Amino acid sequence: MLPPDAVDVSLCDEYSLAVHFSNGEERFFDLTPLLERKCYMRLKDSAFRAQVFVQNGCVTWPDDIDIDPQWLYEDSVTGPTGADACGRV
Protein backbone atom coordinates (compact mmCIF):
# COMPACT_ATOMS: atom_id res chain seq x y z
CA MET A 1 0.00 0.00 0.00
CA LEU A 2 1.37 3.40 -0.97
CA PRO A 3 1.64 6.09 1.69
CA PRO A 4 -0.50 9.22 1.25
CA ASP A 5 0.99 12.22 -0.50
CA ALA A 6 1.69 15.49 1.27
CA VAL A 7 -0.82 18.14 0.16
CA ASP A 8 0.16 21.07 2.40
CA VAL A 9 3.04 21.92 4.73
CA SER A 10 3.97 24.65 7.17
CA LEU A 11 6.73 25.26 9.66
CA CYS A 12 5.45 24.34 13.08
CA ASP A 13 8.44 25.61 15.03
CA GLU A 14 12.14 25.99 14.31
CA TYR A 15 12.76 22.42 13.13
CA SER A 16 9.30 20.84 12.91
CA LEU A 17 6.86 20.65 10.03
CA ALA A 18 3.09 20.31 10.17
CA VAL A 19 2.18 18.21 7.13
CA HIS A 20 -1.32 17.61 5.79
CA PHE A 21 -1.64 14.36 3.85
CA SER A 22 -4.05 13.26 1.11
CA ASN A 23 -5.77 10.87 3.55
CA GLY A 24 -6.86 13.85 5.69
CA GLU A 25 -4.28 13.36 8.46
CA GLU A 26 -2.14 16.14 9.88
CA ARG A 27 1.20 14.82 11.13
CA PHE A 28 4.31 16.44 12.56
CA PHE A 29 7.81 15.78 11.25
CA ASP A 30 11.03 16.63 13.12
CA LEU A 31 13.78 17.87 10.78
CA THR A 32 16.52 17.73 13.43
CA PRO A 33 17.83 14.23 12.54
CA LEU A 34 18.34 15.35 8.91
CA LEU A 35 20.51 18.37 9.63
CA GLU A 36 23.82 16.50 9.72
CA ARG A 37 23.24 14.81 6.36
CA LYS A 38 25.09 16.66 3.64
CA CYS A 39 22.09 16.91 1.31
CA TYR A 40 19.97 18.55 4.04
CA MET A 41 22.52 20.89 5.65
CA ARG A 42 20.95 23.96 4.01
CA LEU A 43 17.92 23.38 6.24
CA LYS A 44 19.96 24.79 9.14
CA ASP A 45 19.35 28.24 7.59
CA SER A 46 15.98 29.48 8.85
CA ALA A 47 15.36 31.67 5.79
CA PHE A 48 15.94 28.71 3.49
CA ARG A 49 13.87 26.38 5.69
CA ALA A 50 10.95 28.83 5.49
CA GLN A 51 10.79 28.33 1.71
CA VAL A 52 9.19 24.88 2.18
CA PHE A 53 6.38 23.88 -0.20
CA VAL A 54 4.68 20.75 -1.55
CA GLN A 55 5.39 19.52 -5.06
CA ASN A 56 4.18 16.22 -6.49
CA GLY A 57 3.29 14.91 -3.02
CA CYS A 58 6.75 15.64 -1.57
CA VAL A 59 7.78 18.26 0.96
CA THR A 60 10.27 20.32 -1.02
CA TRP A 61 12.68 23.26 -0.87
CA PRO A 62 14.50 25.08 -3.68
CA ASP A 63 17.52 23.39 -5.27
CA ASP A 64 15.77 19.99 -5.46
CA ILE A 65 15.86 19.27 -1.73
CA ASP A 66 12.90 17.10 -0.78
CA ILE A 67 11.58 14.41 1.54
CA ASP A 68 9.96 11.31 0.09
CA PRO A 69 6.27 10.97 1.09
CA GLN A 70 6.78 7.46 2.49
CA TRP A 71 9.67 8.55 4.72
CA LEU A 72 7.79 11.68 5.72
CA TYR A 73 4.66 9.74 6.68
CA GLU A 74 6.41 6.87 8.47
CA ASP A 75 8.73 9.12 10.52
CA SER A 76 6.10 11.68 11.51
CA VAL A 77 3.79 11.67 14.53
CA THR A 78 0.13 12.44 14.97
CA GLY A 79 -2.06 13.34 17.90
CA PRO A 80 -1.12 14.85 21.25
CA THR A 81 2.58 13.93 21.02
CA GLY A 82 3.02 15.86 17.79
CA ALA A 83 0.71 18.66 18.83
CA ASP A 84 2.57 19.19 22.11
CA ALA A 85 5.89 19.18 20.25
CA CYS A 86 4.59 22.04 18.11
CA GLY A 87 3.20 24.10 20.94
CA ARG A 88 -0.40 23.55 19.89
CA VAL A 89 -3.33 22.70 22.12
* Domain boundaries along the sequence of the chain: 6-85
**Contacts by residues 55-63 (CB-CB < 8 Å, ≥ 24 positions apart):** 56/5, 57/5, 57/6, 57/7, 57/22, 58/5, 58/6, 59/6, 59/9, 59/17, 59/19, 59/29
Domain 6-85 has CATH 3.30.2020.10: yes
Strands 6-13 and 16-21: antiparallel
Q: Is 69 helix (H, G, I), strand (E, B) or coil?
A: helix
Element (H, E) at 72: helix 69-74
* Higher local confidence (pLDDT), 84 or 71: 71
pLDDT tens readout for residues 3-59:
899 999 999 889 999 999 999 999 999 999 999 999 999 999 999 999 999 999 999
In this model, does residue 1 exceed pLDDT 80? no
The CA radius of gyration of the chain, in Å to the nearest whole number, is 12
